[in-house]
Amino acid sequence: MFKMGRAKEIFRLRKEGRTREALELASVLHTCYPGDQWITKGLAWVLCDRLKAAVEAGEQEKVSQWAEYLTKLDIPDHDEILSKTVSRLLEKGNPEKRSFFKALDYDFHGDHQKALEIFRSLKELDYVKDAKYYEAYGWCLYKQMKNLMPRNSGNENIIPLLEEYFTLNGPKPSLLHSLVLHVIIHLFRGNATDLYHWFNRWGPSGFREEDYLGYEKEGELMPALFEKLVQTLGKAILNGGDRDLVSWIQPFLDEALSRYGKNIWLFYYKARMLLETGHAKEAEDFIIPVVRQKKSEFWVWALLGDIYSGRNKEWAISCYGMALLCPSEEKYLINTRYSFGKLLHQAGFDQEARTEIDLSLKVR
């Protein structure tokens, strides 16, 4: 009971801020009763206070003094809070690791550029080559990329940060890695070649289970990361006209279609790709669901006309006619009018054909 009462006295003095008295009492009691866990814990907490104050004040001599004292204590394993506190403070007290914690502090307060300068300076040192370092460095890079994106600073300022991210040995799959893919999609959404390049560097096997699921953001249902990627890639590839990429994306597109059956854009891209690779009959199966939902849009009728043009010219003429009846600016109808005119000519309607082709050429 005597030892327990004196141990409580250590904690009381510490709570009142009388750390010098608490330290003196704890040191004497620990010398007398080195095996008492409560006295050891009381002394450890007081030493933690002293070490923390010395670290914050930059007093290296005292940091070394208190850190050495702490490391000699036999702290009970079952006290996780104390063990983690001691471990963290000893890390902060290590002069070699102080720069790392300074980088964390800069990053936490939003000065990612200063944090990155420190992370870079530590990159070649063995003592920071662990998961915590790489993860912190990666998050800092991601936050700096996010900072630059709204400023319209141009991809040339963000790409070096992206390159830097891929030099790190961070955890994959992970939330951070998935968020980096969001950045890649945003930066290269209009360029199929760049999207293909960066997605392959990111790693097609880097998806988490959560990346296949949609989520809610500010009351709005957002597409899954995998769905967003495939849709962005599909649009960019079709606009770029790269036949090799059309073949490459097919397994991803088929998987997305099986998962997200209500996304008509995936059906539309699949139909166009099948048509462009000479599979018009198969393309018909994928365009029909789009026609049902977008029957007032010229582009869906125009694609259906393209699909039928090699097999049923009458149906194709009807589809092109429907496309031209839909509201649209003339500049978007150039190719449709030209295709329509060619079929009208083949069907013997030369005057009507000439009208459509002349309109197409005039606008072009």
pLDDT exceeds 80 at position 43: yes
Q: If we measure between CA atoms, which residue out of 27, 22, 23, 20 comes closest to residue 9?
A: 22
pLDDT exceeds 90 at position 40: no
The predicted structure's pLDDT at residue 152: 60
The predicted structure's pLDDT at residue 200: 95
Per-residue pLDDT reduced to its tens digit, 313-334: 889 898 888 998 888 888 888 8
The DSSP-derived string for 113-128 is HHHHHHHHHHTT-GGG
The predicted structure's pLDDT at residue 357: 79
pLDDT exceeds 70 at position 96: no
The predicted structure's pLDDT at residue 1: 42
The predicted structure's pLDDT at residue 5: 65
Residue recorded with tokens 């933690």: 48
Per-residue pLDDT reduced to its tens digit, 110-126: 999 999 999 998 887 76
Q: Cα(346)–Cα(359) distance, rounded to whole angstroms?
A: 18
Q: Cα(193)–Cα(185) distance, rounded to whole angstroms?
A: 12
Mean pLDDT of 350-361: 78
Q: If we measure between CA atoms, which residue out of 169, 164, 93, 95 comes closest to residue 133?
A: 169
HSE-up (13 A, CA, CB side) for residue 300: 18
Q: Cα(49)–Cα(102) distance, rounded to whole angstroms?
A: 19
The band of 242, judged by pLDDT with boundaries at 50, 70 and 90, is confident
Percent of the chain with pLDDT over 70: 95
Per-residue pLDDT reduced to its tens digit, 264-309: 999 999 999 999 899 999 999 999 999 999 989 989 999 999 999 8
Per-residue pLDDT reduced to its tens digit, 130-162: 788 899 999 999 999 999 987 665 678 899 999
Give the CA dihedral 118, 120, 121, 124, nearest 10 degrees.
Answer: 140
Within 10 angstroms of residue 121's Cβ, the number of other Cβ atoms is 12
